Amino acid sequence: MFDTGVNILTYLSQGAWTTISIFLTATFFSFVMAFIAGLSRLAKNPLIRGFTTVYVEIFRGTSLIVQLFWLYYAVPMLFNIDLGSNWWVGVVAIALNYGAYMSEVVRSSILSIDKGQTEASIALNLSRFQRMRHIILPQALRLMLPEFGNYSIQILKGTALVSLIGLTDILYYGDIYRSSNLSEGPLAYLMVLVMYFIIALPLIWLSKQGEKMSRRGVAS
């Protein structure tokens, strides 16, 4: 049984790169989206604020799987936009979905920075941009760390859905393996889970570190 387990793992590892590459790219873009949307929701301009709020609420209010299908089936037909490849459809869906969730983290961390900090920086004649860059963001970033860690694990879990739009990730290879070795089904899926868990382990560790860092030396 042990040998079979190792065999399955080697077989599954063919899909590992798809999973990891989607995970890394989607994480990067969801961070970008989170900051853009999080900061835009605090903007002065009501148009920017309104537009971002609609984006955030739509992507938070529906499921990732629905968004994925929508981007995969509906968007190319509706707007005649071709996202290039399934790989990009997956990345864009995940990045937009988690970007919306994480933008709330960005926004609430910025809002939780003490008002006195803003007032002091205004008194010191810092511009809006300088205030954000030098005073508010460095403090807010630390508060965001644990949540970002948690969301990175969520993103990894989300990547398993891309096999539904035909990408050859770990779950895809797991399904192929199971359908050709029916009796080894339980072991095959267990190994898929183990594989995802192995990828998640460093993320679990990172989010623990993030928690520690955000607690350290915070004046409250």
Partner 1 sequence: MSATYWSWETFVDAFPIILEGLKITLGLTIASYLLAMVAGFIWLILESTPVKPFNFIVYWIKEFIRSTPPIVQIFFLYFAWPMVPYIGTSFTPFVAAMLALGIHFSTYISEVYRSGIESVDKGQWEASTALNFSTRDKWSKIVLPQALPPTIPMLGNYLIILFKEVPLAATIGVVGILSIARSYGAQTWSYIEPLTIVAILFLLLSYPSALLIRRLENKMNRRFDKKPKKVKVAE
Q: Which chain residues interact with partner 1 by CB under 8 A?
A: 57-58, 60-67, 69-70, 73-74, 76-80, 98, 101, 108, 112, 146-147, 150-151, 153-154, 156-161, 164, 171, 174-175, 178, 182-186, 188-190, 192-193, 196-197, 200, 203-204
Q: At its nearest, how many Å lie between partner 1 and the CB of residue 134?
A: 25
Residue nearer to partner 1 on the CB measure, 47 or 77: 77
Q: At its nearest, how many Å lie between partner 1 and the CB of residue 197?
A: 5
For residue 112, the 8-state DSSP code is: T
Residue 164, both tokens: 């539904």
Q: Are the beta carbons of 134 and 72 closer than 8 angstroms?
A: no
Residue nearer to partner 1 on the CB measure, 126 or 189: 189
Q: At its nearest, how many Å lie between partner 1 and the CB of residue 162?
A: 10
Q: At its nearest, how many Å lie between partner 1 and the CB of residue 124?
A: 27
Residue nearer to partner 1 on the CB measure, 157 or 212: 157
Residue nearer to partner 1 on the CB measure, 136 or 187: 187
| Angle CA 152–164–53, to nearest 5 | 50
Give the Å distances, CA to CA, from 206 to 18, 27, 152, 158, 216: 22, 14, 10, 18, 15
Residue 82, both tokens: 């071709």
Phi first, then psi, for residue 3 (nearest 5°) are -60, -45
Residue nearer to partner 1 on the CB measure, 113 or 126: 113
Q: At its nearest, how many Å lie between partner 1 and the CB of residue 88?
A: 15
12-28 residues labelled b (16+ CB within 10 A) or e (exposed)? beebbebbeebbebbbe
